[in-house]
């Protein structure tokens, strides 16, 4: 069975409806629900659920499968009164196989899907099944060729997520890579003129890894995930990524940091090396949410992917 190409997140504007996003990081389950299809998306719920075990390992690696029922119970409790029409699980980059390739511009949709499926099998060790997520088009191109990025979720993890999400029998259930959801958040913030729109390097910080996403006027120039055992590594690779993106002048790029692990030392190091260009990404404006709604220290920047998965 060849991997299935998953449609990208689409926009609906006809009637109000809500979409939920769920993300697992370590022992945390983050969740959000947003009412879409209205003039201003409205936040219905946002929060964390903390477990006494590594929930991400249970979901993504199959460790301690007896805890699946506990996670299902938490999902039922959090969304017990929901009327959402869809729920999307955010996929961390660390569990995905990612690659970039080229296709003929005149290739049909069928031929492109066949090519993507074949290349995925080559690069994921021949594993059958799973889900494929086409990424935003990259900048490398020619009159005859266009570039694309692909992320692949293994069938084992896809099946575990399907079992987990069985607690939502009436909702459309799906998955979205964290980088795709984060890009969607930033583009929505661009539409609201809440963030710089020209050039930005986004840093998504997670345990042991960092997502580096470079955008120019909303177009993805580079998207890469790098192992970063310590904060100094995150800073070093920010320099390296910017140096390799030739389309953007080094000093003409804002830097937006978000994610799970933003230590004060890391933020200070980034400011020391990149100056006032550095900011912590606040996704609140995309759902008309003021910063003062939260207690001091609430990590709203950690919800960038979750909210991106929740907007239509």
Q: Cα–Cα–Cα angle for 187, 150, 174, nearest 5°?
A: 70
* pLDDT, tens digit only, all 312 positions of the chain: 556 666 555 444 445 689 999 999 999 999 999 998 777 789 999 999 999 999 999 999 999 999 999 999 999 999 999 999 999 999 999 999 998 888 888 899 899 889 988 998 888 888 888 898 876 556 556 788 888 888 999 999 999 999 999 999 999 999 999 999 999 999 999 999 999 878 999 999 999 999 999 999 988 888 999 999 999 999 999 999 999 888 887 788 999 999 997 999 999 999 999 999 999 999 999 998 877 777 778 899 999 999 999 997
Distances (CA, A) of 283 to 110, 215, 304: 37, 17, 6
- 61-68: list long-range contacts, CB under 8 Å, 24+ apart: 62/156, 62/160, 68/160, 68/163, 68/164
pTM for this model (two decimals): 0.90
As a whole number of angstroms, the distance between CA 55 and CA 61 comes to 10
């Amino acid at each position: 069975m060849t991997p299935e190409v998953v449609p990208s997140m689409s926009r609906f504007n006809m009637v109000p409806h809500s979409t939920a996003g769920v993300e697992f990081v370590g022992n945390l389950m983050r969740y959000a629900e947003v009412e879409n299809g209205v003039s201003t998306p409205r936040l219905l719920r946002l929060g964390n659920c903390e477990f006494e075990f590594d929930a991400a390992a249970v979901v993504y690696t199959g460790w301690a499968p007896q805890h699946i029922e506990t996670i299902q119970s938490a999902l039922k409790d959090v969304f017990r009164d929901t009327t959402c029409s869809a729920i999307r699980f955010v996929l961390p980059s660390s569990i995905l196989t990612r690659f970039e390739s080229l296709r003929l511009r005149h290739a049909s949709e069928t031929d492109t899907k066949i090519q993507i499926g074949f290349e995925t099998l080559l690069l994921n060790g021949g594993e059958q099944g799973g889900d494929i997520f086409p990424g935003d088009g990259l900048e490398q191109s020619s009159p005859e060729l266009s570039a694309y990025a692909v992320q692949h979720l293994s069938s084992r993890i896809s099946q575990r997520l399907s079992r987990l999400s069985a607690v939502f029998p009436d909702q459309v259930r799906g998955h979205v890579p964290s980088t795709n959801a984060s890009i969607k958040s930033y583009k929505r913030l661009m539409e609201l003129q809440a963030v710089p729109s020209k050039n930005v390097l986004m840093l998504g910080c997670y345990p042991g890894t960092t997502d580096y996403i470079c955008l120019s006027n909303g177009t993805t120039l580079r998207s890469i995930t790098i192992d970063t055992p310590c904060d100094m590594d995150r800073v070093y690779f920010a320099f390296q990524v910017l140096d390799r993106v030739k389309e953007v002048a080094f000093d003409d790029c804002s830097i937006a940091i978000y994610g799970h692990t933003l230590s004060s030392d890391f933020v200070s190091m980034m400011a020391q090396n990149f100056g006032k260009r550095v900011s912590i990404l606040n996704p609140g404006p995309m759902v008309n949410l003021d910063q003062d709604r939260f207690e001091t220290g609430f990590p709203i920047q950690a919800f960038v992917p979750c909210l991106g998965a929740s907007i239509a």
